[in-house]
Amino acid sequence: MRMLTVAVMAALLAVAGLAGPAHARTTAPRVTAKEVYLIDAATGTPQFARRETRRVPVASLTKIMTAYVVRRSASLDAVVTITKADVRHAAANGAARAGLKAGERLSVRDLLYALLLPSGADAAGALARTYGPGVRRFVGKMNAAARSLGMRDTFYTNPDGMPQPGGDHSTAFDQVTLAKTVLADPIVAQVAGTKRHAVAKTPLHRGHVWKNTNRLLPDDAQGLKTGYTRPAGYCLMFAAARDGRTYIGVILGERTDAARYRTARSLLDAATAAAAAA
């Protein structure tokens, strides 16, 4: 009878979350974004999913695909000349800029930093114009790359993610696929994970200092990209190592800048706790 009573009490405590397996006590992440997807990078196992296949704009996360296409098309040491059109396009659309000036000549390597750290639409325009050649052909390459990667619910209309007639869209699921792909490229991974990059003045260009817009760096993540437009909301593509595991996540349609980082940290904390309890 005593043994039966102990067994019943243990069962009741386990149901209440006061005893039993550790995973019974893990806390669900606090997620306020509209679309979210988080995976274990090594296994591809989903850790959290919310409307991950819903088609929505992804703002400047688009520039990760721009970097991917450039890496397949250009030498890092190749030199690109900035034009008035590159600068004018970014300024006219109110986009984030890297402060480039017409006539400057910068390497592709440096322009990747200008593209991904301050999220420069001027750098995106210069790279797309050069390696399309022409922006329209470059966007065609972006969409071809998306198809080749199995990103079936993704369509790009420009290389910078600014709102444009024609309706660019992707999904959290597809963007995680892209993130996993580009992390295998050591150059893109290095650039996207850099907090600050300085370019010294030369006869070819002015001096520049670019700071990464990703506030998870360097302690909470290894990269990859932020984004914001009014239609897309606050977006974040990130990768982080926790306790020997790497997690890759995408947050879309978040309400505020601060909220996207809270959501990312909460997702990572919950995934880490679940892995420890398994």
pLDDT per residue as tens digits for the range 201-257: 999 999 999 999 999 999 999 999 999 999 999 999 999 999 999 999 999 999 999
Residue 201, annotated as binding a ligand: no
Residue from 63, 107, 141, 170 carrying the catalytic annotation: 63
Q: Is 148 a catalytic residue?
A: no
With respect to CATH, is domain 28-277 assigned 3.40.50.300?
Answer: no
Residue from 60, 107, 141, 170 carrying the catalytic annotation: 60
pLDDT band at 166 (very low <50, low <70, confident <90, very high): confident
pLDDT per residue as tens digits for the range 26-71: 688 999 999 999 999 999 999 999 999 999 999 999 999 999 999 9
Q: Is 119 a catalytic residue?
A: yes
- Specify the long-range contacts of residues 78-83, CB closer than 8 Å, at least 24 apart: 78/107, 78/108, 79/105, 79/106, 79/107, 79/108, 79/204, 80/105, 80/106, 80/107, 80/108, 80/111, 80/126, 80/127, 80/130, 81/105, 81/126, 82/106, 82/122, 82/126, 83/126, 83/129
